[in-house]
Amino acid sequence: MRKKVTKAIFPVAGLGTRFLPATKSVPKEIMTLVDRPLVQYAIDEARAAGITEFIFVTSRGKNALEDYFDHAPMLEQELQKKGKDDLLATLKSTYMDSGAIAYIRQHRALGLGHAVWCARRLISSDEPFAVILPDDVIAAEKPCLQQMVEAHAETGGNMVAAMEVPAEKTSSYGVLDVAEDMGSVVSVKGMVEKPKPEDAPSNLAVIGRYILTPSILRNLDRMKKGAGDEFQLTDAIADDIRAGKPVYGYRFDGQRFDCGSKAGFLQATVAFALARDDLRDDLSAYLQEMVQLDKAAQ
Ligand code: G1P
């Protein structure tokens, strides 16, 4: 029997400089899509996939994240008194059980591989674990990590979420060298971090969801710096391929938003607002009006 995936690592140590000045005092992961922080989407997705232990790799200035997951008895009492049951349920969806969440500091910004390695002592040597990058928000009927956990139950090995990107964009992603394309699942014979389009083995890019075997953490022990002069998770996974271990890409069903960029964040905001019964009509009327005004101005 394969071991279940019950732990997830959330690398959230980044400075979020693209969102300055907001990120001067608010961690990027607390910024909201409509009314929910980015990190809440990541947590909900992890829970849906059966994750029960949450490991955050943080850095200086991220205390608001710890507070966010704390219990809020005064607020709770207030909502109870006023009979605001909906809001009470919303509040409780942010709560974490005692001991279910751990925070590890990444003392220096040395890359995604290094951030994951910082959590190594919280993962046993025989259990697979997930990594979720909260910047990649994925709208899907069945949450992306849940799709992957189900596929992984069949394949085992290492698995990364994958998506076709325009050929000229490969230098923003880890890119897969595909051995065999089986539809949703592809087996992978190589991986390159942020290749120039002319050097990319394909246009099938890694998106921020991973199910990894503990051998990746051992590879990270020996890691050398890679692309961007950082320790890359992609390189540690590629090392497993070279050692003859299986790595799969998983083409998920769903729409991915790059919330690490302003345009992606705005698109996600509009998409999530349009999906809400309480906002759809007003917002869609407004957007149509804006488009017409824009056309008239041209
Ligand atoms: C990271 C990974 C990259 C992956 C990307 C997905 O890059 O290093 O392999 O394709 O996330 O969003 P980052 O966007 O942090 O530079």
Looking at residue 103, its pLDDT comes to 94
Cβ-contact 133, 38 below 8 angstroms: no
Does residue 8 surpass a pLDDT of 80?
yes
Q: Kindly report, residue by residue over 149-161, the tens digit of the pLDDT.
A: 999 999 999 999 9
pTM greater than the 0.85 cutoff: yes
Please report, rounded to a whole number, the percentage of residues in the chain having pLDDT higher than 90: 83
Q: Kindly report, residue by residue over 34-76, the tens digit of the pLDDT.
A: 999 999 999 999 999 999 999 999 999 888 998 899 889 999 9
Looking at residue 47, its pLDDT comes to 95
C-alpha 207 to ligand 1 mean position (Å):
7
Residues 6+ apart with CB under 8 A from 258: 135, 136, 264
Buried b (16+ CB within 10 A) or exposed e, 2-30: eeebebbbbbbbbbbeebeeebeebbbbb
* Token reading at 74: 């005064």
Does residue 120 surpass a pLDDT of 80?
yes
* Token reading at 244: 């003859």
Alpha-carbon span 33 to 208, nearest angstrom: 18
- Please give the average per-residue pLDDT across 275-282, as a whole number: 95
Mean pLDDT of the chain: 94
Please report, rounded to a whole number, the percentage of residues in the chain having pLDDT higher than 70: 100
Does residue 1 surpass a pLDDT of 70?
no
Looking at residue 297, its pLDDT comes to 77
Which carries the bigger pLDDT value, residue 11 or residue 19?
A: 11
Is the shortest distance between the CB of 170 and ligand 1 below 6 Å?
Answer: no
Looking at residue 154, its pLDDT comes to 93
Residue of 15, 38, 112 best suited for mutating to test ligand 1, as the one with most atoms within 8 Å of CB: 112
Looking at residue 204, its pLDDT comes to 97
Taking alpha carbons only, the member of 25, 33, 19, 34 closest to residue 65 is 25
Residue of 17, 170, 206, 265 best suited for mutating to test ligand 1, as the one with most atoms within 8 Å of CB: 206
Residue of 29, 133, 210, 225 best suited for mutating to test ligand 1, as the one with most atoms within 8 Å of CB: 133
DSSP code for 24? G
Lowest mean pLDDT among 40-44, 115-119, 221-225, 254-258: 221-225
220 φψ region: left (φ > 0), alpha (ψ -120 to 50), beta (else): alpha
Looking at residue 33, its pLDDT comes to 95
How many Cα neighbours within 13 Å face the side chain of 83? 0
Query: What's CA 238's distance to the chain center, in Å?
Result: 20
Across-strand partners of 133?
none
Q: Kindly report, residue by residue over 163-218, the tens digit of the pLDDT.
A: 999 999 999 999 999 999 999 999 999 999 999 999 999 999 999 999 999 999 99
Does residue 252 surpass a pLDDT of 80?
yes
Q: Kindly report, residue by residue over 256-273, the tens digit of the pLDDT.
A: 999 999 999 999 999 999
